[in-house]
Amino acid sequence: MLSAEEKQAIEAEFPHYEQKRAVCIEALRVVQKRRGWVSDEALREVAAFLEMTPDELDNTATFYNLIFRRPVGRHVILICDSVSCWIMGYDRIREHLTKRLGIALGQTTGDGRFTMLPIVCLGTCDHAPAMMIDEDLHRDLTPEKLDAILANYP
């Protein structure tokens, strides 16, 4: 069941759009923010609330790679996997994270602390290589900087 708080947060978006279904991305983000990811059950609840079919909503949810349809760690690392970052050291950053965390792209650490995912250009190419952890952008990355950055995410 969607909580009263989730319903309220979703309903707050309704006045901005002509149709309930137009709120679907925002609604999925509301649920994900509180639950960490969007389960099948949660997807069905949101779909019913927005008067959509679960399939319609799932098509949208799976199109956006920032809607997580599988459980993720407490912190999600989005490592930029686009051309400027490739040129500026993407491989070194990915390899360092893989070694440090013991996971490959698409995986979650055994303690549930981090999930590491690729993402397209983060729009900060002049400070490549770059990544996001949760809502935070990290730029001009070097392997040396990574350990200090990770320590800020318990």
Strands 114-119 and 131-133: unpaired
Q: Does 130 bind ligand FES (CB under 6 A)?
A: yes
Number of neighbouring beta carbons within 10 Å of residue 82 = 18
Q: Does 138 bind ligand FES (CB under 6 A)?
A: no
- CA angle, 77 then 83 then 78, to 5°: 5
3-state helix, strand, coil in the chain (%, to 5): 50, 10, 40
Stretch that binds ligand FES, among 44-52, 99-107, 124-132, 146-154 (CB under 6 A): 124-132
Residue with Cβ nearer ligand FES (83 or 104) = 83
- Measured from the CB of residue 79, what is the shortest distance to ligand FES in angstroms? 9
- Measured from the CB of residue 89, what is the shortest distance to ligand FES in angstroms? 10
SS3 101: helix
Q: Is 149 exposed, middle or buried (0-12, 13-18, 19+ CB in 10 A)?
A: middle
CA distances from 103 to 13, 19, 110, 116 (A): 37, 42, 9, 8
- Measured from the CB of residue 142, what is the shortest distance to ligand FES in angstroms? 15
Buried b (16+ CB within 10 A) or exposed e, 105-118: eeebbeeeebbbbb
For residues 67-86, which are near ligand FES according to CB under 6 A? 80, 82-85
Stretch that binds ligand FES, among 25-33, 38-46, 62-70, 122-130 (CB under 6 A): 122-130
Q: Does 98 bind ligand FES (CB under 6 A)?
A: no
Q: Does 122 bind ligand FES (CB under 6 A)?
A: yes
- Measured from the CB of residue 69, what is the shortest distance to ligand FES in angstroms? 24
User: Under the rule (CB under 6 A), what is the footprint of ligand FES?
Assistant: 80, 82-85, 121-122, 124-125, 128, 130
